Structure 1
Amino acid sequence: MKKNKACGSRFKMLLNEANITTTGFAEFLKISKPQNVHNWYTRGVPHYRMEEVAKKLSVNTTWLKTGEGPRDAKELRLLDESGNVLDAQAIRGTYRVIEPLDVDLPFYKETPITPGDKKTHVIKDPGQSIRMPRTDLDSLEINHADAICARMIGNSMAEKIEDGSVVAIDQGLTQIVDGEIYAIEHDGMLRIKYLHRVPGNALRMRSHNNAEYPDEILRAAQIEEQNIRVLGWVFWWSTLNKRRPEVPFL
């Protein structure tokens, strides 16, 4: 079992900085005898464990082994088998997830400016959020902080996006790409529409259900007068089946 005794002091320093006991780290590595991990302080981390330990503690393997090169860690973090990033604090043998695989997207809704007021605005609902996989956001190059959710109201986008569906919006993309779906705040009203640019800085809003909702052309002056603001690009939506099927022969 090849070991590098010189790395023992660096390993001990990492655990001390993160306030992780050798017992807690042994449990994390699924090593049944914590004393074996404690012995690494003086004997060094075994060669066959070096890469695993470096990965768990988010440091460069070469740095842990030799002390040379970049340490490559702004903060000590642990990675579990599922890829969750954990804070390096052992509390009764458990770890707290600080960078989960999912992201909580804040929920926005249209609501009266004051109770009973007919005029509305679009604001954050602190009591709701929607979870989405980080990988989905990353694949679309969406900044996690720019992603929000809202609910489709009405049937203007049916059968593409049904009434009551949840939509996810990228606030980082407000520049209009013709034919894409966007969330708009229209004088305090939340709307989901296809958008098209029109010469003269005008805007065409198109519904998927255009048989009931004809196109709206808004000139530049109207856009300003009616307080039209593009909230962002709609990149995801859920669709709830409106009818539960009846099971025959019961």
Structure 2
Amino acid sequence: MNKAESLERLLEAAGNISQEELARALDESPQTITNWKKRGVSKAGAIKASAAFGISTNWILNGKEQPDSLNASKVIEWDSSTNVDDDEIEVPFYKDFLVSCGVGTLPQIVGQPARKLRLGKATLRSYGVSPENAYALTAHGDSMKSVINNGATVYVDLGQTNIVDGKIYAINHGGLFKFKYLYKMPMGGVRIVSENKEEYPEEVLTAQEMIDQEFCVVAYAFNVQNPLP
């Protein structure tokens, strides 16, 4: 496969953005993007783009995976009787930590996670997630319905808290934990958007309101496993 096609896949998977928009989003020089057009996206560039756009690095580099940041990976529940392969890690699963997809709820974590899930190291690498930053949380409510359904298990990266416009994050807003789309606003503000916009109108906070309302980004949601119908 022509390496130069990797840039085309990246631009398309990122929403058919232009090379100039890509350079700004990744804080790269236009010359770097031009080099990618000739020689293909570098591995380092693919990892950076994966974190920014939620696209698999394998998809960017060789087109072998679908570019959907929230498609369910092949995840398997882990318990003490299950051997963990060398190419997998144990992800703490806070089943009772309900991240609200609605009006919000206080976290209910007591002691250690009750269960663990196992996730392939290759999957984490494809999303640019360090193993020690990977956690699994439960979502409830319907403000993100069709993307994150009630009862979904959502895999998050505590190491990615810088907002990339249009990506989904677990947030803490005044002690209430939710999954929401986030967008940066001028002067350090933030725009908080639900998938179900009619029932859950968007909110816009200034930088001062973020402080006053104790708003912070907890983690980037890189994968979801929605419950079966």
Fold conserved between structures, TM > 0.5: yes
Percent pairwise identity: 32
Would you say 1:169 and 2:153 are equivalent positions?
A: no
For residue 18 of structure 2, what is the aligned residue in structure 1?
none
SS at match of 1:200: helix
By how many angstroms is 1:228 displaced? 1.4
1:122 and 1:190 in contact (8 A); partners too: no
From 140, 154, 161, the counterpart of 1:153: 140
Report the AA paired with residue 91 of structure 2: L
Matches of 2:211 and 2:195, distance apart in 1 = 25
Report the AA paired with residue 101 of structure 1: D
The residue correspondences of 1:213-228 to structure 2 (distance < 5 A) are: 213-228=200-215
Report the AA paired with residue 179 of structure 1: G
Matches of 1:120 and 1:180, distance apart in 2 = 23
Question: Structure 1 runs of 4+ off > 3 angstroms?
Answer: 108-111, 121-125
Provide closer, same or farther for how the CA distance between residues 98 and 148 of structure 1 changes in structure 2, counting only shifts above 3 A: closer
Matches of 2:124 and 2:84, distance apart in 1 = 18
Would you say 1:181 and 2:172 are equivalent positions?
A: no
By how many angstroms is 1:122 displaced? 6.3
Report the AA paired with residue 92 of structure 2: P
Matches of 1:171 and 1:156, distance apart in 2 = 22
By how many angstroms is 1:200 displaced? 1.9
Would you say 1:105 and 2:91 are equivalent positions?
A: yes
Matches of 1:195 and 1:186, distance apart in 2 = 13
**Which has the greater radius of gyration?**
1
Matches of 2:84 and 2:223, distance apart in 1 = 25
By how many angstroms is 1:241 displaced? 2.8
Unmatched tracts of structure 2, length 5 or more: 1-82, 99-104
For residue 180 of structure 2, what is the aligned residue in structure 1?
193
Matches of 2:160 and 2:194, distance apart in 1 = 20
Would you say 1:133 and 2:120 are equivalent positions?
A: yes
For residue 222 of structure 2, what is the aligned residue in structure 1?
235
Matches of 1:221 and 1:178, distance apart in 2 = 20
Would you say 1:142 and 2:129 are equivalent positions?
A: yes
Provide closer, same or farther for how the CA distance between residues 107 and 222 of structure 1 changes in structure 2, counting only shifts above 3 A: farther
Matches of 2:198 and 2:218, distance apart in 1 = 25
Would you say 1:211 and 2:198 are equivalent positions?
A: yes
SS at match of 1:126: coil
Unmatched tracts of structure 1, length 5 or more: 1-96, 112-118, 243-250
By how many angstroms is 1:143 displaced? 0.6
RMSD across aligned C-alpha pairs, in angstroms?
Answer: 2.1
Matches of 1:153 and 1:210, distance apart in 2 = 16
Provide closer, same or farther for how the CA distance between residues 121 and 187 of structure 1 changes in structure 2, counting only shifts above 3 A: farther
1:121 and 1:187 in contact (8 A); partners too: no
What TM-score do you get using the length of structure 2 for normalisation?
A: 0.55
